[in-house]
Amino acid sequence: MSILVNKNTKLLVQGITGRDGSFHTKKMIDYGTQVVGGVSPGKGGQTVHGVPVFNTVSDAVKETGANTSVIFVPAPFAADAVLEAAEAGIDLVIAISEGVPTLDMVRITPYLKKKGTKLVGANCPGLISPGEAMIGILPGGIFMKGNIGLMSRSGTLTYEMVYQLTHSGLGQSTCVGIGGDPVAGLYYEELLQMFEEDPETEAIVLIGEIGGDAEERAAQYIKEHITKPVVGFIGGLTAPPGKRMGHAGAIISSGTGTGAEKIAAFEAVGVQVARQPSEIPELLKKLLKL
Amino acid sequence: MKIHEYQAKEILARYEIPVTNEILCYSVSEVQTAAQQLGFPCVVKAQVLTGGRGKAGGVKLVRNAEEATLAAEKILGMDIKGYTVEKVLVAQGVSFVSEIYAGLTIDRNTKSAVFMVSREGGVEIEEVAKDNPEAIFKFAVEPDLGMAPFFARKIAFALFDDLSLVRQATDLFQKLYKVFIDTDASLVEINPLVITSDNQLLALDGKMTFDDNALFRQPGILALNEPSEDEKKEIDAKDKGLSYIRLDGSIGCMVNGAGLAMATMDMIKLYGGEPANFLDIGGSSNPQKVIDAMNLIISDKNVKVVMINIFGGITRCDDVAKGLVAALEQIKIQIPIVIRLSGTNSKEGLEILKNANLPTVETMSEAAEKAISLSVDFLR
């Protein structure tokens, strides 16, 4: 088991004929992900790396039975692409596109809710269930199948953590990049619940960063609903207020969303927080009595 | 992106939200003329792209021409949190009975706009938010409903009993929401929104910030952008595909990815050093980017050592290594460099660096420790 994606996932790539879409389609296929189709309006009938391309998501779903879609279209059109996938009955949409306007995300949220479509991202590296499927732009080679569930607002920081985990012999059940934007699809709470219910996941790593209060809310959720051990890390402890640290969501505004507040919130509910990435494997091993 | 108060109020006025009569001035003599024209008392307000100007002495009530001159002389050229005051707003004095707070922003949790109002508006609103949060009413706006008249009325009734004020507020709140949506704002705030002595709502101040991701479809807003010197550097970096923010320390950082870049800064601080910048070189590893990044870092004269932390995911370490070698051939650097390369194709990358006599370290923590000790040695 794992969460969200596995070897039965049938994936569509929206924006498959673009530079990034095409490049990462190849990587996903190489990893073993079942990429069943692509969508690129006006390019229906072509193939990319042997994958058939359709004009609309509806056509693609009808022909291929796809249940998951990954979005590589440019940011101004990304929200529309998510809606198209939801309308066509796709269950899970992963939006990689960076720079999507916040109000676009706000506008699409009610429709996704109505259709029951799950969204990961935007502005995220994707997700992976090692040995089963990789969706997005993650470097498959550093991951290893195992029992640690991981969620993160950042891409490269995830890689750093995973690299440390894998090198310490701690494999992963699923790793999810939730994205660095202020308004995103799945948040920590939903993923914590999925990991809690996943028999393969034994412990959870939560990698947060400054800005917003998602980590504080996650801490509260862990206290009330999560029985599995959780270890945290917060990026941006030294970031100055009012400066956007790369991610649109990573900004400390009017004194809230600081790293210190987030660490305090986690520690108050018994979640240990690593002060540097290399501490994560040790903390996990202690908690799992390995 | 931020704009000035006077610009925000121009936008509010365009949507027929009542704002104070006011005149923008760049010199003492302009202030004198404006004050005569508006009549006394009036208020001279520094226009800077930062908060806390009132507490810094950047806002003065003046009762006559002499006071206006003194205030203009004092405020123009004043430094507020690193921003020099180049223009002031002279606003007509208004007698009011009460100060309201009204603001719209995005709530990450409801994934919608949230309308916030309070009867305790004014400069202390942040303290109110902290010490007395129940004095601030919050209303999540459902995106498909928008600011329907009934909804605006509901918010107005939370604030007022007086029906004339309810009517005015209902109208004003709908307009404020329209401003927020039309301009892709991330914050629209009127604080204070006053009730004048003749029972009219009037915006005494206005603040707006905008979603950078949406500026591509907001040319009118983008045209208002006035970047500071540091921000110009950041924008210039952005054009080159780099995300750069200058800080005060002595250890220059070059990292791929925003999260790792933040963690690198934290690591330096954890080991007792001070980062000179946040710099995310992004996903691609084209040598020109590495050269641009290196130039940017060393343009900061406080930098005593450069720490490079790359985790190859999509970025391939051998590409970064090639870029570094090319960069260091092009620009002669007098200060030490600490390099940590890990991840995809790191073996090949490390080999390239070794052949170019560039020493590397294995982990982030080692890199931080070494960079700090080198920066200390350099100072000796």
CB pair distance less than 8 Å for B184 and A76: no
Q: Which of residues 152-181 of B touch A (CB under 8 A)?
A: 181
A236 touches chain B (CB under 8 A): yes
Decide if pLDDT at A177 tops 70: yes
Does residue B6 register a pLDDT over 70? yes
Tell me the average pLDDT across B140-160.
95
Is B255 within 8 Å of B309 (Cβ atoms)?
Answer: yes
How far apart are the CA of A24 and the nearest CA of chain B, in angstroms? 10
Q: What is the pLDDT of residue B180?
A: 98
- Of B142, B186, B255, which has the smallest distance from its Cβ to A102's Cβ? B186
Tokens linked to A56: 């609309």
On chain A, the residues whose CB falls within 8 A of the CB of B311 are 156, 159-160, 163
CB contacts < 8 Å between A and B, how many? 168
Instruction: Report the distance separating Cα A29 and Cα A39, nearest Å.
Output: 16
pLDDT digits (tens, 9 = 90+) for B297-316: 988 899 999 999 998 877 77
| Chain B residues inside the 8 Å CB shell of A141 | 344
Question: CA-CA distance, B149 to B155, in Å (whole number)?
Answer: 10
Tell me, what amino acid is at A245?
A: M
Q: Which residues of B touch A136 (CB under 8 A)?
A: none
Question: Does the pLDDT value for residue B380 go beyond 70?
Answer: no
The C-alpha of B322 sits at a distance from chain A's nearest C-alpha, in angstroms, of 20
CA distance A245 to chain B (A): 7
Gap between the Cα atoms of B102 and B191, Å rounded: 6
Comparing CA positions, the residue from B13, B79, B11 lying closest to residue B46 is B79
Distance of alpha carbon B90 from alpha carbon A199, whole angstroms = 66
Q: Say how many C-beta atoms besides its own lie within 10 A of residue A94's C-beta.
A: 31
Q: Let me know if A225 is a catalytic residue.
A: no
What is the dihedral angle through the alpha carbons of A106, A112, A116, A118, rounded to the nearest 10 degrees?
A: -70
pLDDT surpasses 80 at B285: no
> B60 is written with which tokens?
């003065």
B295 or A65, which is more confident? Answer: A65
CB contact under 8 A, A275 and B270: yes
Q: What is the pTM of this model?
A: 0.90
Tokens of A216: 């504080």
Nearest neighbour of A278 by CB, restricted to B181, B266, B365: B365
> In this structure, what token pair is assigned to residue A116?
């029951």
Q: pLDDT tens-digit profile of A22-74?
A: 999 999 999 999 999 999 999 999 999 999 999 999 999 999 999 999 999 99
Contact B220, B14 (CB under 8 A): no
Q: Which of these, B173, B166, B167, B210, lies nearest to B190 by C-alpha position?
A: B173
Q: Do A209 and B262 touch (CB under 8 A)?
A: yes
Q: Is B353 within 8 Å of B339 (Cβ atoms)?
A: yes
Please count the residues of chain A.
290
B68, B35 Cβ separation under 8 angstroms: yes
Backbone angles phi, psi at B364, to 5 degrees: -60, -45
pLDDT at B237: 85
- A170–chain B nearest CA distance, Å: 17
Q: Identify the helix (H) or strand (E) that includes residue A53.
A: strand A51-54
Q: Are strands B251-255 and B305-312 parallel, antiparallel or unpaired?
A: parallel
Q: How would you list the strands of the sheet with B42-46, edge to edge?
A: B22-25, B88-92, B42-46, B59-62
Q: Does B344 touch chain A if contact means CB atoms closer than 8 Å? A: yes
Residue in the structure block whose two tokens are 């194709």: B345
3-state secondary structure of A185: coil
Assess whether pLDDT exceeds 90 at residue B19: yes
| DSSP strands (E only) in chain B | 22-25, 42-46, 59-62, 79-80, 83-84, 88-92, 96-107, 112-118, 136-141, 185-196, 201-203, 207-210, 243-246, 251-255, 277-280, 305-312, 337-343, 360-361
> Residue A261 CB: number of other CB atoms within 10 A?
17
> CA of B107: which chain A residue's CA is closest?
A183
Rounded mean pLDDT of B312-327?
A: 83
- Nearest CA-CA partner of B79 in B48, B55, B51, B54: B48
Contacts of B369 (CB under 8 A, 6+ apart): B271
Q: Which of A231-245, B158-172, B302-316 has the highest mean pLDDT?
A: B158-172
One-character DSSP codes across B148-210: -HHHHHHHHHHH-SSHHHHHHHHHHHHHHHHHHHHTTEEEEEEEEEEEETTS-EEES--EEEE
Q: Which of B116, B128, B98 is nearest to B173 (CA)?
A: B116
Nearest neighbour of A154 by CB, restricted to B50, B258, B344: B258
CA distance A31 to A34: 9
Which ipTM was obtained for this model?
A: 0.89
Q: Which residues of B touch A243 (CB under 8 A)?
A: 245, 278
For A217, the closest of B109, B126, B143 (CB atoms) is: B109
**Beta-carbon neighbour count of residue B149 at 10 Å?**
11
Q: Which of A24, A167, A225, A247 is catalytic?
A: A247
Q: What is the pLDDT of residues A261-277, one digit of tens each?
A: 999 999 999 999 999 89
Pairing of strands B360-361, B337-343: parallel
Higher pLDDT, B298 or A192: A192
Q: Would you call A3 exposed, middle or buried from its count of C-beta atoms within 10 A (0-12, 13-18, 19+)?
A: buried
Q: A227 to each of A193, A230, B54, how far by Cα in Å?
A: 10, 9, 49
What pLDDT was estimated at residue A156?
Answer: 87
Cis ω for the linkage preceding A229 (within 30 of 0): no
pLDDT at B169 over 70: yes
What is d(CA B105, CA A212) in angstroms, rounded to the nearest whole number? 12
Distance from CA of A236 to the nearest CA of B (A): 5
The pLDDT of residue B334 is above 90:
no
pLDDT in tens, A123-139: 999 999 999 999 999 98
B365 vs B371: CA distance, rounded Å: 10
Q: Is A101 an interface residue toward B (CB < 8 Å)? A: yes
**DSSP secondary structure letter of residue B249:** S
Is residue A134 within a helix (H) or strand (E), and if so which, with residue range? strand A133-136
Residue B36 has pLDDT above 70, yes or no: yes
Angle between helices B163-182 and B149-159 (to 10 degrees): 130
Q: For residue B311, give the 3-state DSSP assignment.
A: strand
CB under 8 A, 24+ apart: contacts of B370-373? B370/B338, B371/B251, B371/B268, B371/B273, B371/B305, B371/B306, B371/B307, B371/B338, B372/B251, B372/B268, B372/B271, B372/B272, B372/B273
Instruction: Give per-residue pLDDT as tens, B202-218.
Output: 999 999 999 999 999 99
Per CB-CB distance under 8 Å, the chain B contacts of A276 are 263, 266-267, 270, 364-365
The answer to which of A25-34, A249-258, B247-256 has the lowest mean pLDDT is A249-258
What sign results for the dihedral spanned by CA atoms A205, A241, B340, B243? positive
Q: Per the CB < 8 Å rule, is B143 touching A109?
A: yes
Cβ pair A276:B270 closer than 8 A: yes
With CA atoms as reference, report the closest residue to B375 among B299, B307, B296: B307
Q: How far apart are CA A237 and CA A263, in angstroms?
A: 9
Inter-chain contact B266–A244, Cβ cutoff 8 Å? no
Cis peptide before A122 (omega within 30 of 0): yes
Q: Is residue B312 packed enough to be buried (19+ CB in 10 Å), middle (13-18) or exposed (0-12)?
A: buried
